[in-house]
Amino acid sequence: MPAPATKKKRGINRDIGITRRSMEVLLAEDISTLGNRGEIVKVKPGYARNYLLPHGYATIATEENKRAVEQHKKKLGELEVARVKTLRQRADAVSKYSVTLEAHANAEGHLYGSVLAHDISKALKTAGYDIETDHIKLEGPLKELGMYTVKLELHPEVRTDVKVWVVPTAST
pLDDT tens, residue by residue, 67-96: 988 898 899 999 999 999 999 999 999 999
Check if the beta carbon of residue 160 is closer than 8 Å to that of residue 91.
yes
Alpha helices in 13-62 (DSSP H): 45-47, 53-55
> Any idea which fold 14-61 has?
Ribosomal Protein L9; domain 1 (3.40.5)
| All CATH 3.40.5.10 domain ranges in the chain, comma separated | 14-61
Rounded Cα–Cα distance for residues 168 and 89 (Å): 32
Residue 5, amino acid? A
Q: pLDDT confidence of 125, banded at 50, 70, 90? A: very high
What would the pLDDT profile of 43-58 be if each residue is shown by its tens digit?
Answer: 999 999 999 999 999 9
CATH label, 91-168, candidates 3.40.640.10, 3.90.1170.50, 3.40.50.300, 3.10.430.100: 3.10.430.100
Q: Taking the CB of residue 142, how many other CB atoms lie within 10 A of it?
A: 22
Range(s) for CATH 3.10.430.100 in the chain?
91-168
**Predicted confidence (pLDDT) at residue 119 exceeds the cutoff of 90:** yes
Does this model's pTM top 0.85? My answer is: no
CB–CB of 25/56 below 8 Å?
no
Bridge partner residues of 155 (DSSP): 158
Cβ atoms < 10 Å from Cβ of 49: 13
